[in-house]
Chain A
Amino acid sequence: MTINGSEVARAHWLFGAIFLAMVLQELGPPVVRAGVRRASFAFPVVFLLAGVSMWGAAVFGNTAIDAVVHSFWGDILIAAGVLDLQRRRGRLHAAWGPLVLPVAIGLCGALFLAHSEGSPAKDPTALWHVLMGGVLVAAALGGVMWVRRGSLRWLGAYGAPLTAFSLLLLTFPRSG
């Protein structure tokens, strides 16, 4: 059983919309105006949802690298989602707790880059994977700096690449 390019694209579009809603909920303009953080559960819930979806994608992956990368993704997203959920529930007080999400985002970006098959110059899907991996790595750097420094400038450096990632997912090309 294989999944055709149109179905793959649709899955990316749907997740892109969910991810965009999560970014707006967590890092949107009201946070900037109020200058404070919110303890919504959007990030961990979306991470857990995405982790389960990734395991599904690993089972139905069309190639071996596809399956392996998606299973790693699932593991990272579930682990990060669970840790962040516990932190937001007040059960995790470790100093490294706030770094879990940016680090997980960076690891996911690296997997996007590893996952890219084919030439980005010729294959739009490969190009999208490189772009998505790049913005996630950039978001991770911005996120780490935001956690460390806490200024709105770093919040922008975290939120803008995550928004770009959502839009890339929403415009993921059909292939095959």
Chain B
Amino acid sequence: MVLAWPSLSWFGVSPIGLYRSVDQPSILLTLVGLWYTGRGFLHREAGEPEDERGGGR
């Protein structure tokens, strides 16, 4: 968000502004990393072994 702020303030707080603000490889990669890390923490706190429903294969 800090990285995206200068761009966000330039394009405005709108869906297009948000898209323009985050659509940079470094920011996108950071967001994916944060999501994946947070997801891991949430699963650990909940004590869930990651989903075990048979599926993708």
Q: A170 and B51 in contact (CB under 8 A), knowing A13-B24, A147-B57?
A: no
For chain A residues 1-24, which have a beta carbon within 8 Å of chain B?
10, 13-14, 16-17, 20-21, 24
A39 within 8 A of B: yes
**Min CB distance, B19 to chain A, in Å?**
8
Most buried by A among B19, B24, B56: B56
- Chain B residues 1-53 with CB under 8 Å of chain A are 19, 23-25, 28-29, 31-32, 35-36, 40, 43, 49-53
Q: Is the CB of A10 within 8 A of B35?
A: no
- Chain B residues with a Cβ under 8 A of chain A: 19, 23-25, 28-29, 31-32, 35-36, 40, 43, 49-57
Interface residues of A (CB under 8 A from B): 10, 13-14, 16-17, 20-21, 24, 26-28, 30-31, 33-34, 36-40, 43, 88, 98, 101, 146-147, 150, 170-171
> B35, A146: Cβ atoms under 8 Å?
no
Chain A residues touching B, majority SS: helix
Chain B positions within 8 Å of A24 at CB level: 32, 36
How far, in whole Å, are A27 and B49 apart by their CA atoms in the complex? Answer: 15
Q: How far is the CB of A33 from chain B (nearest CB, A)?
A: 8
- Among residues of B, the one whose C-beta sits closest to the C-beta of A170 is B25
Nearest Cβ distance between residue B30 and chain A, in whole angstroms?
10
**Which residue from chain A places its CB closest to the CB of B20 in the assembled complex?**
A10
Of A27, A37, A147, chain B has the most CB atoms within 10 Å of the CB of A37
